[in-house]
Chains A and B, each alone.
Chain A
Amino acid sequence: MAAKTGTYTLIASNTLGSLTASVTFSSISSAYTDLVLVITPTIPTGAYDILMRVGNGTVDSGNNYSVTRLSGTGTAANSTRSSNASGMFCTYYGYPTSTNPSTTIVNLIDYANTTTNKSMLIRSGNAAAGTEAIVGLWRSTAAINIITMSLDAATNFSSGSTFKLYGIEAAR
């Protein structure tokens, strides 16, 4: 079993220079096996969950997303879920605030196939609030070539928030 060349490639990066309501990565190549989205946003005020939508050509805003979560707050552990949602909740206690960035990593497994629904593994944390693991489902067999990140409220990501998208290519 011989190994091939390196993988884990930076596809796109966006460090915000001003308040921004949403960040989109579009025209994502189908050349990889998995995608990894690494984000560390803050927001001007409040505490809101990060919402991800995906699609093929355009993002899907239909009620086709669901998640199952395992969270810890420092005083308790719990498990919750959202079903038939219009976006994928990437945080629950790991949300961003003005001072504490959410550190969120989303693994989009086998994102470019056209035969299965798309499952995702998410880890997020905000040391002042909690940490969690999340498995998410987008009920569509379309290949994912667009991803939009926003907040679960009409508010913005702060300047300095970072969004990086990587591709992992399996052996062929």
Chain B
Amino acid sequence: MSISSAKSGGTGISLALDNNFMEPIASTLVGAGGVNTVIFNDIPQTYKHLQIRYSSRNAAVTDTVFARLNSDYGSNYSWHSLRGSGTATQTVGTASVTVMEMPFSSYSGTTANAFGVAIIDILDYANSNKYKTLRTLGGSDLNGSGYVFFNSGLWMNNTTVTSVTIYPSTGNFVEYSRFSLYGIKG
């Protein structure tokens, strides 16, 4: 099936641009002292998909970042990760847990001023008839160490997604970490 723009006849990204397919919803730049949690609340239900783009560094000596949807603390998540360490490939995953793991952040003690980055897509988030799936591309290069990731996550709940919580496993995200939420039209 070919998808064409009614406006220009263009396809693919041209169609997307014609329709202003991506809209900024909210963004936060972490201030002095850092924060231990970033929450996007009251997310509009008017888009097809959501995208979160972030740059983060953990204040603690740990690289792990987690996410939850709708503040659900139950064992209703699963996630898988395909990752590269620069020397080896690894795959890990777990089922029926209370969080989804996101790509690693950079962290205290690593290359100064280096931040990890990630792009999370939350697909069909406003559909109330199926579980919610996330996919993530991310990583943190530290000039001699670091990881790059493909992650997937599942929230086993039909409820529409109205909030997203992202937090480091320990401590705070440092100042200048940035988290931005976008809506993708469908």
Query: Are B43 and A1 in contact, CB atoms less than 8 angstroms apart?
Result: yes
Query: Are B87 and A172 in contact, CB atoms less than 8 angstroms apart?
Result: no
Q: Is the interface of A mostly helix, strand, loop or mixed?
A: strand
The total of Cβ contacts below 8 Å across the A-B interface reads: 180
A136 near B: Cβ within 8 Å? Answer: yes
Chain A residues with CB under 8 Å of B178's CB are 33, 109-110, 113, 170
- The size class of the interface chain B forms with chain A is 35 or more
| Residue among B22, B114, B142 making CB contact with A168, cutoff 8 Å | B22
B93 near A: Cβ within 8 Å? Answer: no
Distance, CA A80 to CA B88, complexed state (A): 7
Chain B residues with CB under 8 Å of A83's CB are 143-144
Distance, CA A71 to CA B40, complexed state (A): 33
Q: Which residues of A contact B (CB under 8 A)?
A: 1-10, 33-34, 38, 66-71, 77-81, 83-84, 107, 109-110, 113, 115-117, 119-121, 123, 133-137, 139, 141, 168-172
| 22 A-B contact pairs sorted by A residue (CB < 8 Å) | A1-B42, A6-B22, A8-B20, A33-B27, A68-B139, A68-B141, A69-B84, A69-B86, A70-B83, A77-B89, A80-B87, A81-B146, A107-B117, A109-B54, A116-B55, A117-B114, A121-B118, A121-B137, A133-B137, A137-B114, A139-B111, A170-B24
